[in-house]
Amino acid sequence: MTDMRGSVESLAWLLAQGGVLVLSGAGLSTESGIPDYRGPTGRARRAEPMTYQRFVGSAEARRRYWARSHVGWRQIGRAAPNAGHRAVAELERCGLLGGIVTQNVDGLHQAAGARGVIELHGALDRVVCLSCRERTSRHELEHRLRSANPGWEATGHLNPDGDAVLTDDQVAGFRVVDCTGCGGLLKPDVVFFGENVPRPRVEECFALVAAARAVLVLGSSLAIRSGLRFVTRAAALGIPIAIVNQGPTGGDADATLTLDAPLGETLSALAGRLTAVPTAE
């Protein structure tokens, strides 16, 4: 059994000087009801994720995506920050963080009060036109989709991407809407599989790594390069790395400290301990 008290004390000791860069993943949001990708709640995934190539290349793929996403947004849009998000925001308010890089697209860090957040993979609450690049609110799009599909109702298992599993019969007849400005294709303002994170965003994250006194990974399996590269860079720079996740991660070999434990409970205890002790000058 994990000695939670001792582990939290070790985490606090490692992070007490401040300048901590947080790198968060889907495991941080599972306690808000959003399944993860590879952890315990993600093992029941029932649909392949949409790729950028399929999305832009097939009207039927876009119909299926937007029908599934329209259903999934009802749950994502209602999700509330959990104790882990609130603890991260408290650490930021106390001046202990040098930045927050999240791989999540749910906006829950900001909803908890965090300010210095880089959304590595974008956010589901925004929509972008692939032609004119205008960005609009997801709430506005949801209103337009409801108007275009009067009487359409469906339910399905929520996936980590914020979409829901629907049958062909449920998708049939769903109407997709286009950009009101130019008539172009609308896409959620997130990085799909098959896309690259914009280079300036990546460079901004690398700069935060270089400036950090420590890196704290929360709820990420680090199974793909998108997040792992920042841990690899921190290790190359000799920056201490702490990982709190349920299950092993791709960064464990480079970590100074790892803790397999529930995120909300652990981070609440960590924030309580760190914010009660003056930070080092």
Q: What was the pLDDT predicted at 4?
A: 54
pLDDT in tens, 6-52: 599 999 999 999 999 999 999 999 999 998 775 554 444 445 778 99
- Please tell me the distance from the alpha carbon of residue 182 to that of residue 66, in angstroms, as a whole number: 19
Same domain for 131 and 151?
yes
261 and 280 housed in the same domain: yes
Give residue 260's Cα distance to chain centre: 19
d(Cα 7, Cα 10) in Å, to the nearest integer? 5
Backbone angles phi, psi at 37, to 5 degrees: -95, -45
Of 190, 208, 240, the residue at which a domain comes to its end is: 190
133 lies in the same domain as 266? no
What span, in angstroms and rounded, lies between the C-alpha atoms of 30 and 262? 10
- Strands 186-190 and 122-129, by their bridges, are antiparallel
Binding site membership: which residues?
25-45, 103-106, 129, 132, 179, 182, 219-221, 245-247, 263
One digit per residue, the tens of pLDDT, for the chain of length 281 reads 344 555 999 999 999 999 999 999 999 999 999 987 755 544 444 457 789 999 999 999 999 999 999 999 988 999 999 999 999 999 999 999 999 999 999 999 999 999 999 999 999 999 999 999 999 999 999 999 999 999 999 988 888 778 899 999 999 989 999 999 999 999 999 999 989 999 999 999 999 999 999 999 999 999 999 999 999 999 999 999 999 999 999 999 999 999 999 999 999 999 999 987 554 44
In this predicted structure, what is the pLDDT of residue 50?
87
260 φ/ψ sector (left φ>0, alpha ψ -120 to 50, else beta): beta
Tell me what pLDDT residue 1 has: 34
pLDDT score recorded for residue 276:
78
Residue 39 located in a structural domain:
no
121 is catalytic: yes
Domain count, the chain: 2
Out of 121, 139, 143, 157, pick the active-site residue: 121
Structural domain includes residue 6:
no
CA–CA separation, 144 vs 164, rounded Å?
Answer: 19
Closest CA to 159 of 40, 81, 32, 47: 47
Verify that 140 and 234 share a domain, yes or no: no
In this structure, is residue 1 part of a structural domain? no
- The pLDDT, as a whole number, for residue 160 is 77
Q: Are 205 and 103 members of one domain?
A: yes
How much is the pTM? 0.91
Does residue 109 sit in the same domain as residue 155? Answer: no
Structural domain for 234, as ranges: 11-34+81-121+196-281
242 neighbors 213 (Cβ within 8 angstroms) = no
129: which residues sit within 8 A by CB, 6+ positions away? 135, 136, 179, 181, 182, 184, 185, 186, 187
Same domain? For 55 and 66 the reply is yes
CATH, residue 27: 3.40.50.1220
Binding site as annotated, residues for NAD(+): 25-45, 103-106, 219-221, 245-247, 263
Known binding positions for Zn(2+): 129, 132, 179, 182
Q: What are the start-end ranges of the E strands in the chain? A: 20-24, 97-102, 117-119, 122-129, 135-137, 186-190, 214-218, 241-244, 257-259
Which residue type, as a one-letter code, is found at position 163? D
